[in-house]
Structure 1
Amino acid sequence: METKTQPLLTPAYRKRIGELDLYYEDYPHRNPDAQVLILIHGFLSSTISFRKLIPHLAEDYHVVAIDLPGFGKSEKSKTFTYSLASYGKLVLSFIKEMGWRDVILIGHSMGGQVALHASRQDGKLISKLVLLGCCGYIKRARSTMICCSYLPFFSWGLKRWVLKKDLRNNLSGVLHNIDLVTEDMIKEYRAQFLEDGFFDSLIRLLRHREGDLKPFELNTIVHPILLIHGNDDKVIPLTTGKRLHSDLKNSRLIVYKDAGHLIMEEKPLDLARDIKQFISSEKEALQTSV
């Protein structure tokens, strides 16, 4: 029988990291020495995408979810460089500011690439990675598109185009089970589109985002990595997950049946189970080696 976990109250905080105002949600465990998990959302998303997964992980771990700059409730900075490398550096700065070590990063989609960048930049602060529907091998935007982003009213046109789109259809496209799309879900995911500066930040991300990590760069990552992918992911196809598994030498790949890209909405219990098993098995392996 499927067990239900009671929803948690959202403990929302803001922290100044350098010149940035970062929004995060902190779910501490009753054990002060509990493993810290940091959740990193994907493109066009925010901490809201982990809403179903957090209660299950918080049973055993100290869980923290962050909004990357430009998304959710974090600052829409006009000076921040919106690149994957900068996002990775910011995550590491946040970890250092909080005084944590041996953190586990859990990244969804673009957030997976951010986690990989953080891993390469300072592996000492991180113990392992969990990548959910991780994107990969995406190239930088074409120079013509980047040039167009400087045209007058480009931001206005982007905002008008996005807000005219049917969000119900968009959410249905990232799920296998479209019955999960409700009016409340649409309202929650749409909220950040109405934030001041959101579309200007998207344009800066278009300009600044470098291509995803190349195979030879992925080969250098030594952290244990759990890859979880939906077999019906229409945004980041399973072939990408399999290729990442091949290029990330210390990785394991789990494929979920009847799951799309927004895997946290569809399979929170399965995710929590597999993440917990991954963490515990790694600890057991370490203890055995010692």
Structure 2
Amino acid sequence: MEQTESIGYLPINNINVYYEFYPNQTSDKTFVLLHGFLSSTFTFRHLISLLKKEYQVLSVDLPPFGKSAKCNQYVYSYKNLAQTVIKLTESFGLKKMTFIGHSMGGQIVLNILHMMPELADKAILLCSSAYLKRSKLPLILTSYIPYFHLFVKYWFARTGVKKNLQDALYNHSIINDEMINGYLQPFLEDDIFVALTRMIRHREGDLPAEVLQQIKTPCLLLWGDHDNSMPLKVGEKLNKDLVNSELIVLKETGHALPEERPNEVYEYIKNFLGNFQMAAD
């Protein structure tokens, strides 16, 4: 039975997850896209338009971000987010996928590779989060104060979407109203800040080096040389800890690779697939 393009919600792991699924009848290769912190599927819009011409694509709004539900019962840990993605791919009957993770999404990908390595044939990590510790105990305890989510909202309003984009991008000239509004939209309701408060409590630290060293999946690491959020030294350390990885550095590029360099990222992904397939033949 042919699958058709679908955009919507599925109840997965006790929460409604927003997804965009673009089947491709001419390819059996599936990409699963996972965005970063304070982001959504929106960040991949340029890359999706390139990938879906040749491959099958599933892009996910990781709870509580984007259009996915914000739920007081959901556990916003990386392990649970990884399990939610795994269950979503199972609902589509997907097997042997290539995962693409940007920033925090890269850490979710690494959790999936650790938990269920058989799901992935390879992975692409774009300025992946790595080696971050859990929130300090005083912050976790403070998060239980009533209305703490209003402090989170105040912090977000003070930094602002435009300032966050300027920090994430090397080339500020590409910032426009469409981009600002696309990132701002999910933060116009208070429930996101309640969920972010829960994430402060639930988020465990990133995978330690000894776990990363057990991951055997071939990984392509793409990094911007002007990444202020996840500096290049993080990518270099990750490249050493992942036993089957390759690191490529993009010049004059910041943290938001899918925004700044979608065409180059796409070409590197295609080359990575081609080299991998030649090695397997």
Scaled by the length of structure 1, what TM-score is found? 0.93
Does residue 263 (structure 1) correspond to residue 250 (structure 2)? The answer is no
Bigger Cα displacement from structure 2, 136-145 vs 80-89 = 80-89
Q: List, as ranges, runs of 4+ consecutive aligned residues in structure 1 with deviation greater than 3 Å.
A: none
Question: In the alignment, what sits opposite 1:63?
Answer: 57
**Aligned equivalent of 1:38, options 14, 32, 41:** 32
- Show the counterpart of 1:226: 220
SS in 2 for 1:161: helix
Q: Distance in 1 between matches of 2:28 and 2:248?
A: 25
> 1:156 Cα shift?
1.4
Aligned to 2:80: 86
Look up the SS of the partner of 2:252 in the other structure: coil
* 1:281 equivalenced with 2:257 (yes/no): no
Deviation at 1:163, TM superposition (A): 2.1
Partner of 1:134: 128
Which one is further off, 253-262 or 118-127? 118-127
In percent, how many aligned pairs have the same letter? 38
Conserved in 2, the CA contact under 8 Å of 1:34 and 1:60?
Answer: no
How far, CA to CA, are the matches of 2:80 and 2:242 in structure 1?
A: 22
Secondary structure in structure 1 of the residue aligned to 2:265? helix
CA drift of 1:14 comes to 1.1
Matching residue within 97, 106, 117 for 2:100: 106
SS in 2 for 1:241: helix
2:123 alignment partner, SS class? strand
Shift of 1:196: 4.6
Residue identity in the other structure for 1:270: E
Q: Please, which moves more after superposition, 270-279 or 195-204?
A: 195-204
Give me the whole-angstrom Cα distance separating, in 1, the residues matched to 2:21 and 2:161: 28
Q: Tell me which residue corresponds to 1:5.
A: none
Matched, 1:75 2:69: yes
C-alpha separation in 1, matches of 2:178 and 2:195: 25
CA distance in 2, matches of 1:196, 1:156: 8
Shift of 1:160: 2.6
What secondary structure, in the 3-state scheme, does the structure 2 residue paired with 1:12 have?
strand
What is the rounded CA distance, in whole Å, between the counterparts of 2:206 and 2:91 in structure 1? 27
How far off is 1:165 after superposition? 3.1
Question: What is the one-letter code of the residue matched to 1:232?
Answer: H
- Number of equivalent positions: 277
Distance 2:161 2:91 in 1: 37
| Correspondence for 2:7 | 12
2:113 to 119, 128, 137: 119
**Contact 1:148 1:154 (8 Å CA) reproduced:** yes
> Per-residue CA shift, 1:262-281, capped at 9, x if unaligned?
01111010000000111121
Distance 1:161 1:125 in 2: 38
Q: Kindly report which structure 2 residues correspond to 1:242-261, keeping only aligned pairs within 5 A, or say none.
A: 242-261=236-255
Task: Tell me how large the CA RMSD over aligned residues is.
Answer: 1.2
2:23 is matched with which residue: 15, 19, 28?
28
Q: Which amino acid aligns with 2:22?
A: Y
Normalised by the size of structure 2, how large is the TM-score? Answer: 0.96
Deviations 1:108-157 (A, max 9, x none): 00100100101111111111110000011100000000011011221112
CA deviation map 1:83-106 (0-9, x unaligned): 111111111111111111101110
The runs of 5 or more residues in structure 2 that have no matched partner are none
SS in 2 for 1:192: helix
Equivalent residue letter for 1:115: V
